[in-house]
Amino acid sequence: MAASATAARPLAGAAAVPLPLSARPRTARVALLPLAPVPAQRLTLGRTGRERLPARGRSVRCLAALSPEMRATLDKVVGSSKVVLFMKGTKDFPQCGFSHTVVQILRSLNVPFDTLDVLANEVLRQGLKEYSSWPTFPQLYIDGEFFGGCDITVGIYYVFLLRSLMLVPENSRRFC
């Protein structure tokens, strides 16, 4: 045991050399076993199973309806600036890689934009999901309309870069 502990530590003054793959310890592999069939059972939620749940109680997803007050507030916020980004964190300290990517794209285009941190307010976060019918963040709004998330923003940004590099004449440009 002492020999293996010594071999694992590099010698003083010597450069650490990684072990070749053949000398590394192998982890035990577990054979994949076929899964046993699960007996079909009804979820009774503490009931005998004979009572029927009301239609509202059988819902799988739990979506809160967007209140008129929340819709009016979101309409006001989205319309307050030309570009609004609902993101995780702030533009100076993003808390998510996707939010960071959209911030970097907007900054590279020198676009003035406002941000709101959805992590600071759970009601706002859930309300925005319902408002835009988009389940993830960041969410970018331009001129009061939902533009998209990170994937759409990145895709359009690359199309913009490609077209600007190719210098395609204006009359032959078509948007995919």
Q: Write down the pLDDT at residue 113.
A: 95
3-state secondary structure of 102: helix
φ, ψ at 136 (rounded to 5°): -120, 170
- Average pLDDT, stretch 96-118? 95
Q: Within 13 Å and on the Cβ side, how many CA atoms surround 16?
A: 5
Q: Write down the pLDDT at residue 35.
A: 47
pTM over 0.75? The answer is no
- Average pLDDT, stretch 118-138? 93
| Tokens of residue 56, six digits | 């509202």
In degrees, rounded to 5, the angle at the alpha carbon of residue 150 between the alpha carbons of residues 145 and 155 is 90
10 has a pLDDT exceeding 60: no
Residue 20 or 161, more confident:
161
Adjacency order of strands within the sheet including 139-142: 114-117, 83-87, 139-142, 145-148
- Average pLDDT, stretch 48-64? 45
Round the average pLDDT of the chain to a whole number and report it. Answer: 75
Homologous superfamily in CATH for domain 68-167 = Glutaredoxin (3.40.30.10)
Most confident of 11-15, 21-25, 120-124: 120-124
Provide the pLDDT confidence category of residue 166 given band limits of 50, 70 and 90. confident
Q: Within 13 Å and on the Cβ side, how many CA atoms surround 96?
A: 17
Residue 131 or 160, more confident:
131
Domain boundaries, the chain: 68-167
With contact defined as beta carbons under 8 Å apart, do 125 and 118 qualify?
yes
Residues sharing a CB contact under 8 Å with residue 21, sequence separation 6 or more, in sequence order? none
Q: How does pLDDT run across 59-89, given as a tens digit for each residue?
A: 334 445 688 999 999 999 999 999 999 999 9
Provide the phi-psi class of 68: left if phi over 0, else alpha when psi is between -120 and 50, else beta.
alpha
93 has a pLDDT exceeding 60: yes
Q: Write down the pLDDT at residue 163.
A: 79
Provide the pLDDT confidence category of residue 16 given band limits of 50, 70 and 90. low
Q: In whole angstroms, how large is the CA radius of gyration of the chain?
A: 27
100 has a pLDDT exceeding 90: yes
Token pair 């490609």: residue: 162
